[in-house]
């Protein structure tokens, strides 16, 4: 692989301090997409600094949406909504590395009376899109692809609401179909096999839409108008996971995380870490446009093991890489099941985790749909591949904190996909 950079991580003796995280990526994507099709202006404070969310902004600009990044602190994005109708792009919509952008925005462009071509980088071009293509075609969109992968050519307009049972639990697909349902005639009903994160539903309500949820089904009526909002995006819980796991590695650690997303459909990570032995207390809890945010106080303790399976796997799909990376340091180890979805992320994350753990001297059993990683292991520093995957690069930077000797993360620049400030923030929290 042709890497632009590599990062050296040395062992630490403790983690302490306070951290405020960039805005949650899942919420940032959804808020700015809805701001684009709302009536009137929106102001989004603490918008994600990641490259994926910048890709969403660039695509919206190509669709005629006027937005501006305000100078100064707070990473504020101001958007002038275009109403439900956008402008035909004069060039392909470049989604970069962002599966979130291409999947969720496809629901909006499918409701527009023009043709859009959605493209991405080499990694995105390998990712499966049939799970959005199939239902959007059923709603009336004309979509062509490269054997179910990007680029996608979408000719939209005149969508009809459908009753769709999702074969695979995916919050991105659900959001895509809710957005398309907003632009369709009639009612769209979406059934989930497992309950997924509800940021799409919460965001739609924040912008004024009405939805109905019964059990694992959510319904939206087409043609509703949205209004602009002023919103503070809570700190990204998936990014916080790396620092929480870093603190978990050291019994004497003390960490404070402010303005952190506490959405119940995302907070399963905290439950798992508490069960494993991390001490967590929550203060200053408040609700912002339907999303809960608070301050976490963290103290490290002895780490037991965990089994992640079923609905927990769906809830923790983004956090599994870092949990697996610290698994050898736990007492009983960690077993991951029902996680075949990890094989079609930015990298084959099951394989990537296994390769890097073995490079550090760990025993690991790789399975088709997961991993079994024994506890009580001692790891050594090594030269590790990021595989161009931001979560792999960051996860093994955390594993390196307890390893013997120096670790080099090759291709560390990919962390900027979700968290450009990651390495400097980590450096400020570790004690050596």
Q: Which residues are catalytic?
A: 318
Rounded-to-integer distance, Cα 415 and Cα 239, Å: 10
Residue 428: enclosing H or E segment and its boundaries?
helix 422-429
For every residue of 150-217, DSSP letters joined together read: EEEEEE--S-B--EEE-SS--HHHHHHHHHHHHTSBSEEEEE-SS----HHHHHHHHTT--EEEETTE
366 pairs with which residues across the strands?
A: 371
Q: Which residues of 226-245 are buried (b: 16+ CB within 10 A; e: fewer)?
A: bebbebbbbbbbbbbbbbbb
How far are the Cα atoms of 169, 196, 307, 426 from residue 338, in angstroms, in the given order?
Answer: 12, 15, 11, 31
Of 180, 169, 182, 235, the C-alpha closest to 26 is 235
| Tokens coding 319 | 């956090």
Kindly report the CA angle at 380 between 376 and 386, in degrees rounded to 5?
Answer: 105
**Residue 95 contacts residue 105 (beta carbons within 8 Å):** yes
Spatial CB neighbours of 258, under 8 Å, sequence gap ≥ 6 = 18, 19, 20, 235, 284, 295
Rounded-to-integer distance, Cα 266 and Cα 261, Å: 8
Of 178, 175, 146, the C-alpha closest to 162 is 178
């Amino acid at each position: 692989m042709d890497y632009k950079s590599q990062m050296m991580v040395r062992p630490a003796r403790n983690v302490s301090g306070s951290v405020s995280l960039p805005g949650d990526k899942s919420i940032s994507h959804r808020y700015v997409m809805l701001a684009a099709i709302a009536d009137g202006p929106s102001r989004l404070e603490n918008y994600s600094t990641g490259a994926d969310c910048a890709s969403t902004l660039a695509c919206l600009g190509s669709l005629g949406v006027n937005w501006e990044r305000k100078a100064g602190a707070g990473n504020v994005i101001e958007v002038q909504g275009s109403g439900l109708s956008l402008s035909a792009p004069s060039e392909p919509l470049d989604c970069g590395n962002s599966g979130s952008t291409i999947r969720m925005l496809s629901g909006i462009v499918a409701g527009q009376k023009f043709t859009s071509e959605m493209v991405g980088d080499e990694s995105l071009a390998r990712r499966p899109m049939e799970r959005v293509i199939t239902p959007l075609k059923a709603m009336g969109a004309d979509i062509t692809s490269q054997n179910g992968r990007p680029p996608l050519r979408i000719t939209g307009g005149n969508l009809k609401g459908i009753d769709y049972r999702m074969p695979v639990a995916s919050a991105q697909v659900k959001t895509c179909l809710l957005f398309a349902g907003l632009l369709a005639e009639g009612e769209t009903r979406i059934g989930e096999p497992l309950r997924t994160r509800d940021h799409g539903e919460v965001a739609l309500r924040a912008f004024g839409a009405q939805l109905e949820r019964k059990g694992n089904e959510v319904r939206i009526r087409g043609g509703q108008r949205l209004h602009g909002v002023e919103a503070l995006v809570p700190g990204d819980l998936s990014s916080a996971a790396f620092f929480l796991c870093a603190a978990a590695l050291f019994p004497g650690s003390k960490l404070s995380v402010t303005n952190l997303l506490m959405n119940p459909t995302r907070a399963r990570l905290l439950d798992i870490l508490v069960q494993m032995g991390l001490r967590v207390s929550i203060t200053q809890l408040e609700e912002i446009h339907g999303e809960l945010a608070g301050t976490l106080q963290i103290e490290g303790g002895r780490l037991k093991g965990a089994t992640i399976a079923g609905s927990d796997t769906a809830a923790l799909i983004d956090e599994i890489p870092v949990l697996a990376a610290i698994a050898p340091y736990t007492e009983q180890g960690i077993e991951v099941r029902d996680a075949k979805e990890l094989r079609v992320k930015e990298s084959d994350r099951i394989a990537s985790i296994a390769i890097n753990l073995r490079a550090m001297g760990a025993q690991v059993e790789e399975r088709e749909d997961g991993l079994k990683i024994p506890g009580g292991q001692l790891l050594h520093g090594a030269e590790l591949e990021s595989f161009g995957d931001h979560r792999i690069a960051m996860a093994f930077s955390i594993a390196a904190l307890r390893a013997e000797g120096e670790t080099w993360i090759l291709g560390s620049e990919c962390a900027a996909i979700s968290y450009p400030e990651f390495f400097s923030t980590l450096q400020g929290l570790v004690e050596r």
